Structure 1
Amino acid sequence: MIPTAFLPRLSVSLLAVLLTPIAAAQVASTPEAPDYDRGAYRSCLDRLGQHASSAGIETPVFDRHVRSVVPDTSVLKLLDNQPEFKTPIWDYLAGLVDEERVEDGKAMLERHADTLARVEKSYGVDPATVVAVWGVESDFGKVFGKRPLLESLTTLSCMGRRQEFFRGELIDTLRIIQAGDVPAERLVGSWAGAFGHTQFMPSTYRRIAVDFDGDGRRDLVDSVPDALASTANYLKRSGWRSGQPWGHEVRLPAGFDTAVSGRTSRRPLSYWVERGIKRVDGLPLEGSSTPTALLLPAGKDGPAFLVFKNFDAIYSYNAAMSYALAISLLSDRLRGSDGLGAGWPTPDPGLSRRERRELQELLLARGHDIGEVDGIIGSASRAAIVAEQRKLGLEPDGRAGRNVLAALRNARPPAGAGTPR
């Protein structure tokens, strides 16, 4: 999870590319890393060594793992990055709550059924929710991130904004290594320091992680039981209420005053029932005093949701409504839901990862050098989309949507085009 210390100043478009390791790769290629003052850096290492010693980190541990670190100054660009590409919520959710992730999630529910049953008994969080977090955070362990935590956190402890915050994360990383929980070489993750199956920050690990497989180590990298139980422990500590839903998709009556919407605008469930709000699935919505909020993530013409305390627990994992909705909607799909009842207010819906890969294959077939076909729409893919949109008479916005995919499917390949890779 990206540290919430950064989240209040982030737009949803930025969150859409930062909140998960999978989506993070959609940020445009990182600019060349800036140079740094080597003398100032060595002085910083000396101060870090003193701070680490006072925090209980043994000097040999610090010297072995930090003294030789060459700073990765490219993380400074990521710290201050303002992405150029806007991501509508229907694109964000289309890639995170797609059929592939649902299929894989159901397989994980079956494969780890015994562990998940024990997790639910211990922490009261249902298997679908835990697996949904796992799926969104690391695609069930397929994508952890590639940046060594020691490099990123040492750099951020000495350079850029919020050095004090990152010094704390570095010290907690050294505590993980010193305790023998996870070897240093296995601690790779996001630029900000999140790591493991469900992307804990080191400080979150220190407070929340549990040894659920009983081997004496809290290992969120190589132990699925530890990672799943730690995730459930996080949600429990964030106020999760066992046996209660996160919320429901609902339908608003005509003329409804949407000024009362918003996650923090809580009212008794009976308030919404009295004003004619009904569940989309037709099941009864019984009035009660339960604090409930109305969410309209795409405005009054898009899907609407009534959310309860458990949505807040999910939201706390990464403070963004789009992220919490991805977890919530994926968990519903894992329980057998058919998905949203209402459509998004757009004539050009987002693409699943399979469709994004198909789009990339079509771009390759038309001669664009976009690199690997991986379903990640980065800067090279967007530039190719812009070029094809211009040829096809579409708005050249670089967006990977249904319209450009359909147009490329129907377009005649240019003469001499090769076979897609």
Structure 2
Amino acid sequence: MKKLTTLSSVVALTSQLLLALPGTAIAHEEESKKEHSHEQQQIEQKFNDYVEALKEEAIASGYKPETLERAFADVEYYQRAVELDKNQPEFKLTLDTYLPRAVPEWKADKALEKYREHEQLLEKIGQEYGVQPRFIVALWGIETNFGSFTGGFKVVSALTTLAFDGRREAFFKKQLWEALTIIEDGHIKPEQMKGSWAGAMGQTQFMPSSFMSYAVDYDGDGRKDIWNSHGDVFASAANYLKSVGWRDDVTWGRQVQIPAEFDTTLADLDVKKTLQDWQALGVTRMDGSDLPNRTDIKASVVIPDDKQGRVYLAYANYDALMRWNRSHYFVAAVGYLSDRIRFPR
């Protein structure tokens, strides 16, 4: 029995030594590469077949063949887009730690600088759409760092990849059809249609469906250019906000204090009360003073983290920003940056 044990030990040791030899390790690595390469080839072949089927479906839906040839000329499978879609990061921060990262001092300074640089255009658009310009700049800053980072993925490739992946095929196919319409209407050349891994485009990061609903040709050149035209970018953002119920006579919300005994089941965007009603429940400004004496405003209490963290009184414009991006952290960042523009230090 002891001899058998010794023999098995020798065999195991010999195997380990063989694996440790450079030639053996290289052979295993090459074999792994071949398997991965074969798997990748299979995926890409299925992807190419999927693209051909999409083209046929698009032709049947009325798209011009030349549009499809241009749009899919250099289409490619984005493995990275699939990975990001399946592994979207979850926030493990609190607002108190998130906001300084989302809105560092340099970004607040740059927001004010950009506001002043484009003030005349922003004020004109703000008046026409009924949206305070500081919110347009804040959205611009949070979404794409004032247009400096709009994403490097080819939108048609990203949307086709995610539709092919199948988990949300109906959604991404709808976005792809809208992207084809945008190309066919001449708003952007396919090779210039760049965006995020999920297909969010331009300086406003509109998905194609949002582009079709809200993008504006403000400069009158015949194209809705949210990639390059400041007029189109600002007006498109303002038009979106106006369309989802923006009010230019109130702000987005305010940070407040709540009493220790506050009923947290009331902290919901579906619960609307007057400022006086909230005050009667113990809600105050951050300095402990009374809330504004306005009877024309209804608001919700929002607690993004817990009662020990930041608490907001959310006005109608908070709801509008949630339509843009359904994240309390996103809305808080946009609101905070807009306040920094309004009240520079």
TM norm structure 2: 0.83
Shift of 1:337: 5.9
Q: Is the 8 A contact 2:95 2:310 kept in 1?
A: no
1:292 aligns with 2:299: yes
Q: What percentage of residue pairs aligned between the two structures are identical?
A: 35
1:92 is matched with which residue?
A: 98
2:9 is matched with which residue?
A: none
Q: Is the 8 A contact 2:96 2:310 kept in 1?
A: no
Shift of 1:334: 0.8
Q: 1:302 to 1:107 in 2, by over 3 A?
A: same
More divergent stretch after superposition (90-99 vs 280-289): 280-289
Whose Rg is larger?
A: 2
Q: Alpha-carbon deviations, 1:2-30, whole Å to 9, x = none?
A: xxxxxxxxxxxxxxxxxxxxxxxxxxxxx
Q: Alpha-carbon deviations, 1:392-419, whole Å to 9, x = none?
A: xxxxxxxxxxxxxxxxxxxxxxxxxxxx
Runs of 4+ in 1 over 6 A off after TM superposition: none
2:51 is matched with which residue?
A: 45
Q: For the residues of structure 1 that align with 2:58 and 2:49, how far apart are their CA atoms?
A: 14
Q: Alpha-carbon deviations, 1:331-366, whole Å to 9, x = none?
A: 11110066xxxxxxxxxxxxxxxxxxxxxxxxxxxx
Q: What secondary structure is seen at the aligned counterpart in 2 of 1:37? A: helix
Shift of 1:314: 0.6
Question: Which structure carries more helix by proportion?
Answer: 2
1:412 is matched with which residue?
A: none
Q: 1:84 to 1:315 in 2, by over 3 A?
A: closer
Q: For the residues of structure 1 that align with 2:95 and 2:291, how far apart are their CA atoms?
A: 28
Q: For the residues of structure 2 that align with 1:197 and 1:269, how far apart are their CA atoms?
A: 36
1:141 is matched with which residue?
A: 147
Number of corresponding residues: 307
1:307 is matched with which residue?
A: 314
1:188 is matched with which residue?
A: 194
The within-5 A match list for 1:241-260 is: 241-260=247-266
Q: Alpha-carbon deviations, 1:203-250, whole Å to 9, x = none?
A: 110111000111111000011110111001001111111221111221
2:129 is matched with which residue?
A: 123
Tell me, which stretches of 5 or more residues in structure 1 are unaligned? Answer: 1-31, 339-421
Q: Is the 8 A contact 2:279 2:291 kept in 1?
A: no
Shift of 1:253: 3.3
Tell me, which stretches of 5 or more residues in structure 2 are unaligned? Answer: 1-35
1:224 aligns with 2:213: no
Q: What secondary structure is seen at the aligned counterpart in 2 of 1:168? A: helix
Q: Is the 8 A contact 1:269 1:290 kept in 2?
A: yes
Q: What secondary structure is seen at the aligned counterpart in 2 of 1:250? A: strand
CA RMSD of aligned residues (A): 2.2
TM norm structure 1: 0.68
Q: Alpha-carbon deviations, 1:352-396, whole Å to 9, x = none?
A: xxxxxxxxxxxxxxxxxxxxxxxxxxxxxxxxxxxxxxxxxxxxx
More divergent stretch after superposition (168-177 vs 132-141): 168-177
1:69 is matched with which residue?
A: 75
Q: Is the 8 A contact 1:270 1:289 kept in 2?
A: no
